[in-house]
Each structure stands twice: as structure tokens, then as C-alpha cells.
Amino acid sequence: MNENTTSPLPPNPDPCLNVEITPELVAQHGLLPEEYDQVLQILGRIPNLTELGIFSVMWSEHCAYKNTRKLLRLFPTEKKDKDSVGQVLVKAGEENAGVIDVGEGWGVAFKIESHNHPSAIEPFEGAATGVGGIVRDIFTMGARPILLTNSLRFGSLESAHVKRLFRGVVSGISNYGNCLGIPNMGGDVYFDDCYEGNPLVNALCAGILKHEDIQRGAATGVGNPVFYVGPGTGRDGLGGASFASRELTEESAADRPAVQKGDPFMEKLLLEACLEMMAIPGLVVGIQDMGAAGLTCSTCETASRGSSGIEIDLDLVPQRETGMNSYEIMLSESQERMLVIVKKGREQEIKDVFEKWDLHAAHIGEVKEGDRMVVRHKGVVVADLPAKSLTDEAPIYDQPASEPAHIAAARAWDINSVPSLSQASVEASLEKLLAHPTIASKRWIWQQYDHQVMSGCTVEPGSDAGVVHLSIAGIDKRLAISNDCNNRFCYLDPYQGAQIAFAECMRNLACSGARALAVTDNLNFANPNKPEAYHMLKECVKGLADACSFFDVPVVGGNVSLYNEHGDGAIDPTPVISMVGLIEKGERVTRSFISNSDQNIILVGGLPHELGGSYFLQTEFGKKEGTCPGVNLAEEKKVQDFLIKTIDFGHIRAAHDLSEGGLLVAIAEMLFENPELGADLSIDSLGESNRLDALLFGESQGRVLVSVSDEDLEEVMQSAVQDGLSILRLGKSTRSGRLKLSVAGNEILDSEVNKMHKIWSEAIPEKMNHS
């Protein structure tokens, strides 16, 4: 440490200035010795405690992406085809959320963000504030939020602890989102032992706005006033950003003060007040939400983006606790607050809006010349730092990577190590899959979410993609949304697994009639300082980046959550992908359920033949093993183009992609909206694998089931042949209430749809209602 600059500190009104900065204190703040040396170099002196705290949160993984920044540069951030719909208006990393064009002068802002660690400790509040945070990111852009989704990951539902987490997370999301009145369109949920002590809670929000209404988070115009809006600051959530950048341990429960408490009513007021304020022409210069690292992050980021200085006085910050020191005020993560820079001379206009909504609008500072972020408290300067050094000069690491042994083993796996499936066992195997919580109906979850508020819900949760009508913007278009990531494949082959997540997400949109426009991703990984974990992170990012480039679907923002470990275990790599797509015409909206008898059921993409990584291996043998199914992006594109084309022609009545559980699960799911329906199906051969299990339960990629009426059948079949696609008519839907299937001339299944439906729909409620 630098000894020259230590001099006896004068007694000071703010106790944070009187604390001696020791190596222990630096370590407690999660800064490495070399990082602290960099701080000393930047400042040319020893920081005080408040300044140390500011560096610590701004340079945490959560805010600075220390370990991933280099990797994230691999993602394409704009479209190569400049003539297509979906051009990027605000790129990833520029602002609080990315914005894409959806035509007619409208844009969509959307982003996903994690709240994993808080949810592990306090599931209800953790998940609720996760929703609150992402919603603020969207309306900060000037957008009216129009939908929410979540990607959730939990351990096995057999565990009482997991049930508690699951119930808490779902009710936290339900409570917060429903009160805000933003439809929650579901998302995706997986259950796997690897998430036992470390659940994942990723929340997405999308909003709509006119191009000219896009707001920026920059502090510009020297002399412009800086306002703090929202409820008062308390001691909750102190240092949440650095908390999120550590592994979870048994002691994490003691970190409870780092978990924030949400107030959805306050957020609703803030949302309406901010939108009302931003609708006043020329009033708002810059706006930024106080999320991770609260007042610290919002002041230095707005100053840095505006290439300005900024000065604030903490005595003017509304506080709901007495005796808070500058460290606490700067690092508090109290929820539902924003920083707004308005045009000088128009202070009364912002005050009027917030008074209407009974919220604080406190004038706490000013935009200054230069590049310093200056913070005053009780008449003295408590922080004086170069803003850009906090946002742009955080250390960036390239970690050593090495391939974990299990990946090589997965590549070398031999399908013959799996005992073959007898015909007699098919029904039982199917039922086991339908009862697995990952595959079973998620209605228990989404019926707790208000998905119909705002009157736009066009396809409710439970189909391949959720669809909302953009009626609130007064335009006749629909936005489709899907989240995806099968961790099993990412564990077995990170590069391909990430591409599978991408391809499936896009396929889900295609099944609903939508063309994908852009991606937001949430990279949930383990400790990057462990070479094997870093290898998986790196490979997943590469796989995603290559898929994005291939499909010309850019990444417009997202989030990284590292250190997802608990005790001895790390989570599987889980790069959650979420995509939005556009459906121009109402008649193109397609759902995944067959609604009539006498529909031709057709498999596009060829017979499945790969068993590696499948849920069948899990439910039959309890194994997460095998070679990850192959991904052929060119074939995938052909299938999706074909889907969109035939949906456009009005030939497709229902479409459902094959995913977890494979062909037979997908067929059953298509019949579940009306269990009076049945199907009479036959497949001529066992296909490439020559195995019943791989055919029926294998999870080969790029496969879709569609239902087609007789009058369109020939055209659909011919069109597929012309496109060079493998297409197979399996049979027809019936009114028998039975699913019948024969393979290579042998009847292998004749099962009551109602019975299967019951297993599938009751699996999760049964576990949750008897706990």
C-alpha cells in the first residue's frame, strides 16, 4: 500500500472519512490487491471508505463484466441485412436496454436480467425485485412495458427446500408483475439437480416506444439539474452488486441485508410518472434507473456517457432511515428509484408530475464541466472520482480455460451402452416423461401470472411462444416471445448446446408464425476463475455468437451471472436465450395445439435418431450423459423458412417443435388442449438409429410437427420436397380420445389421451399441493 499519502485524518462529520483503509478492508470489498493498486494509481491517493465502496461495486463482475467483456465482443450487435425489419436502434451496452425497429415508426426495447443470488436467499423478494429491476430498465428507455417472461431453474421438486424456493419465486413474480399490470407471458422452467442450492431467476421485460421517444442515460448540458425520483433511500440491499459476484455459501443467509425489498405499487407509480414526464417535449435530458449499485452506478454512468462531470449532495437525497452515512446512501439498493437530468429552468415541470403521483422529485445535484463525479455530504466532499475510470477502466480478465473431462466422455459415448427399449415399455416411458416437471404442464405457474392485462394476450403461455397484440400502440401487429436453454446439452457440449438453445428459441417463434428479430441473453455460469467453468462459458458464447451471425439475428443486450455455485456443486452452463419476433397479420398466429379431428399430422425435418443428453436417459436411468445431438444451422434455417412460408400461405393449423422428451411427447402435447381428440399414426421404419428409444424419445434437433387439413396437404408436401426437406405424414387426428402409433408395422402404443393429459397436467400441482 502507498505509505506516502497517509496522514492523520481530521475528525469529520461523515464517519466514512475517518476509517483507515486496510488490506483486509480492501479484500472484504472484493477487490484484488492489483485492482486496488490500479485504484491508487487512478486517484493518486488513498480512497476513503465511500470511494472504496464505489470502486468495489462499479468494478464488480455484475457491473463491469470483468471476466466476460472480451467474450461478449464476439456477439454481433447489429443486422448485416440493412433492408430488413428489426434494425437495431440502440445497441447492446449503449443504454439500459437495446431497442429494435418493428416498423411504422415504432421500436421495441427488451432485455433479460438475472436475480439468481437474491432469489436463493429470499425467493419471494429476490424474484419480485428481479422483475422490478428489469421493468425499470425498459421504461427508462422511454418505452411502455408490454410483456414479461421469466426463465427459471430449480433443483428437483422432490426436495422440500426446492419446493419452498419454487413457490416463493413464482409468488414473488406473480405479486410484483400482476400489481404492475404488465402481462406475464410465461417463459421457460427446468428442474435439474444442478440447480439445487442455486436456483436461476432470469426476468425479461419488453416495451414499445416511438423511435423519436428513445431516451438516453447521459448527463449532458453543464448546469442542468439532477433529480432523484421515487421513494426514499434506506439501508436495504447494501452492496447487492458485489454480493451477486460471489459464490453462495452457507453464510450467505447472513447476507440477507443485501437482498432488497420490493414495492410494486411504488414501481407502478414511478412507471406512470416517468412515462408522463418523458412525454413532455424536451424536458428530460437523461434518465437512468438506480438498479445494482444504486445512486453510485446511476451518477457515474450518466456522467460517463455524457462525457461530463456530475456533482450531487447527499443531504438532499430523500431518506427513510435516519443517521445514514455516505457509504450507505451511495451503495444502497433500495428499489423503485431513478436519476433524471432535466433541462435547466424547467424544474417545476418535473416536480408537478411527481407530485401528482405522490412521489419525491428531489433536486440533488447538477451536471458539471470536466469528468469528476463529486459527492458531498454534511458540507464536505466524500467522493471525488473520475467517472469514466469507474465505468470504463475496470480490469478485464482473460481467464485460463480447460475442457472438463466429462465433455470428452460425452463425445466418445456409445448409444449401445443403453439397453434397448421394449415395445411393452413405451407407454410407461412416455408417462414418466410427461410427469417430469420440466416437461409437465406449467399451468400451475402461469395461472398465477396475469397474462391478460393490457388486453393484448393473443397466445397465452403454454404454446411454443407467447404472443401479444400491440393494440396499446394502436398498431395491428403482434410480438412473439420465447425463452430457451436446455442445460443438459450445454453441459455435454457447450458450443453445440448453446446453439441448440438458440435454434430452439428461434424455432419456437417460427412455430407461432413469427420471424425472429433480435436476441437478449442471460449467461448463467459458475465461477469463471475455475478453468473448466471458464471453458464452458467461452464455448457457449462462441456457439451463440456463431448462430447469431448465421441467422443474422443480433444480440441487443443481456446480462451475465457468474459464480452460480453452492457448496460442492456448480450449475450446468445455462446461457438463456430470449428472442422476440414479429407477426404482421392476425391470421398467421399459430398455436401448438390441434383443435380438430381429421387433421394430417406431419413431421418435418426427418425421424429423430439421437438419444444423447435426452430426458429419456434421465427418467429411465437417471443419467445426464451421451453425445449432444448435432446442430445443422443450414438445415435448421430450411425448416424454419418452410414453416414461416407455409404459415404465411395459411396451410398450417398448428405447429409444435420437438424438444425435451422427443417425438412422442410432442405428439401428446399437441392433443392436450382437447383430450377428446386422439390420433392414428404410423411410422414405416425405425429410422437411422434403428432403435425405438431414439426414434420416439431422442431429442434430435430441427424437427417440427405440423397439422394440415386435407385440402392443403398436397401443396405442403410438395413445397417441402421442393425445399429439399425431409417430410413425413404420420397420420391423422381422430375423435377417439386415444393416441395410437405403430412403428414398422407393429402397434407400439394405444393409450388414452385423457390419462396422459392427467399425468402431464397434475405432475406439478400434485407435488406443490402436498408439501
Partner 1 sequence: MKVAILQFPGSNCDWDAEHAVHDVLGIPAARVWHKSPLPTETEAVIVPGGFSFGDYLRCGAIARFSPIMKDLKSFAENGGQVLGICNGFQILCEAGLLPGALIRNDCLEFRCINQKIRVEHSNNRFNPDETGGELILPIAHGEGNYRLEDEALRKLESNQQVLLRYVGNPNGSMNEIAGIRNEAGNVYGMMPHPERAVEPYHPSLDGLPVLKAFLKPILSHSSVEISVS
Which residues does the annotation mark as catalytic?
Answer: 62, 115
Binding mask 583-622 for partner 1 (x = CB under 8 A): ---x--x---------------------------------
Which residue type occupies 546? D
| Cβ–Cβ < 8 Å for 314, 326 | yes
The alpha helices in 653-752, defined as continuous H runs, are 662-671, 692-697, 710-722
Q: Which is nearer to partner 1, 673 or 688 (CB)?
A: 673
Query: Which one of 92-100, 265-273, 693-701, 755-763 is the stretch in contact with partner 1 (CB under 8 A)?
Result: 265-273
Residues 470-489 that bind partner 1 (CB under 8 A): 471-472, 478
Q: Which is nearer to partner 1, 488 or 767 (CB)?
A: 767
384 phi and psi, to 5 degrees? -145, 95
Characterize 573-588 residue by residue with b for buried, 16 or more Cβ atoms within 10 angstroms of its Cβ, and e for exposed: bbbbbbbbbbbeeeeb
Our finding on whether 163 is near partner 1 (CB under 8 A) is: no
Least separation in angstroms between residue 481's CB and partner 1 is 15
Residues 45-104 that bind partner 1 (CB under 8 A): none
Characterize 15-27 residue by residue with b for buried, 16 or more Cβ atoms within 10 angstroms of its Cβ, and e for exposed: ebbeeebeeebbe
Our finding on whether 450 is near partner 1 (CB under 8 A) is: yes
Q: What is the DSSP letter of 307?
A: T
Our finding on whether 207 is near partner 1 (CB under 8 A) is: no
Burial class (CB in 10 A: 0-12, 13-18, 19+), 239: buried
Our finding on whether 265 is near partner 1 (CB under 8 A) is: yes
Q: Which is nearer to partner 1, 188 or 460 (CB)?
A: 460
- Say which residues have a Cβ less than 8 Å from residue 187's Cβ, sequence separation at least 6: 149, 150, 151, 152, 204, 461, 483, 578
Cα(first)–Cα(last) distance of the chain, in Å? 55
Q: Of the candidates 110, 124, 446, 616, which one interacts with partner 1 according to CB under 8 A?
A: 446
Q: Which is nearer to partner 1, 175 or 242 (CB)?
A: 175
Least separation in angstroms between residue 688's CB and partner 1 is 41
Three-class SS state of 512: coil
How many residues form the binding site for partner 1 (CB under 8 A)?
A: 35
Return the closest-CA partner of residue 304 out of 223, 362, 217, 244.
217
Calculate ∠ Cα 562-567-568, nearest 5°.
90
Our finding on whether 448 is near partner 1 (CB under 8 A) is: yes
Our finding on whether 653 is near partner 1 (CB under 8 A) is: no
Q: Of the candidates 79, 337, 451, 738, which one interacts with partner 1 according to CB under 8 A?
A: 451
Q: Which is nearer to partner 1, 446 or 495 (CB)?
A: 446
Our finding on whether 277 is near partner 1 (CB under 8 A) is: no
| Count of other CB atoms within 10 angstroms of residue 397 | 16
Q: Which is nearer to partner 1, 159 or 447 (CB)?
A: 447
Our finding on whether 357 is near partner 1 (CB under 8 A) is: yes
Q: Of the candidates 84, 249, 423, 452, which one interacts with partner 1 according to CB under 8 A?
A: 452
Residues 681-720 that bind partner 1 (CB under 8 A): none
Least separation in angstroms between residue 317's CB and partner 1 is 23
Least separation in angstroms between residue 696's CB and partner 1 is 33
Return the closest-CA partner of residue 519 out of 236, 245, 107, 110.
110
Q: Which is nearer to partner 1, 156 or 448 (CB)?
A: 448
Query: Which one of 87-95, 445-453, 614-622, 660-668 is the stretch in contact with partner 1 (CB under 8 A)?
Result: 445-453
Query: Which one of 18-26, 76-84, 112-120, 352-360 is the stretch in contact with partner 1 (CB under 8 A)?
Result: 352-360
Residues 721-740 that bind partner 1 (CB under 8 A): none
Our finding on whether 149 is near partner 1 (CB under 8 A) is: no
Residues 171-200 that bind partner 1 (CB under 8 A): 171, 174-175, 178-181
| Cβ–Cβ < 8 Å for 552, 79 | yes
| Count of other CB atoms within 10 angstroms of residue 530 | 17
Task: State the Cα torsion 651-654-659-661 to the nearest 10°.
Answer: -130
Which residue type occupies 564? N
Our finding on whether 453 is near partner 1 (CB under 8 A) is: yes
Q: Which is nearer to partner 1, 144 or 246 (CB)?
A: 144
Q: Are strands 284-289 and 338-342 parallel, antiparallel or unpaired?
A: antiparallel
Residues 522-581 that bind partner 1 (CB under 8 A): none
Least separation in angstroms between residue 332's CB and partner 1 is 22
Distances (CA, A) of 547 to 29, 77, 87, 146, 553: 38, 13, 18, 28, 8
Return the closest-CA partner of residue 616 out of 564, 547, 689, 681.
689
Q: How far apart are CA 94 and CA 330, in angstroms?
A: 23
Q: In the complex, which residues of this chain contact partner 1 (CB under 8 A)?
A: 171, 174-175, 178-181, 263-266, 268-269, 356-358, 446-455, 457-458, 460, 469, 471-472, 478, 586, 589
